[in-house]
A = this chain, B = another copy of it.
């Protein structure tokens, strides 16, 4: 929960020693995204922050796959996979297409793949 950064007038008095870095606070405050954007971004990352979903996402970054394939690959129960796919689809991280009985899932756009790779770069480097 983030307070609205556009109303920081009295917040500047929060510090006991009041005037510390007032200029920085004002400047940063002007450049902060609005709270709604922060929320939406947090919701995006939240979905990346679970190894189950991340496994699904990584798999889909390699190839379009059906639910059944994902179950086999990740050794998960089908309802669990469907459940996570639903979350991911609602946030437009993955998309699906149906071919008869089978529903194929894939990443919604290339940002997702780039986020995965960039994140992995960071965790692997140190």
B-contacting residues of A (Cβ < 8 Å)?
Answer: 1-3, 5, 8, 11-15, 17, 20-21, 24-25, 27-29, 31-33, 35, 37-52, 54-55, 58-59, 62-63, 65-66, 68-69, 71-76, 92, 102, 109, 111-112, 114-116, 118-126
Contact = CB atoms under 8 A, between A and B. Distances in A.
A118 B115 contact: yes
A28 B126 contact: no
A47 B48 CA distance: 10
B119 A115 contact: yes
A29 B43 CA distance: 28
A92 B122 CA distance: 10
A123 B2 CA distance: 18
A5 B44 CA distance: 25
Given A65-B21, A122-B109, A3 B49 contact: no
A17 B68 CA distance: 9
A73 B123 contact: no
Given A15-B72, A52-B2, A24 B119 contact: no
A99 B73 CA distance: 51
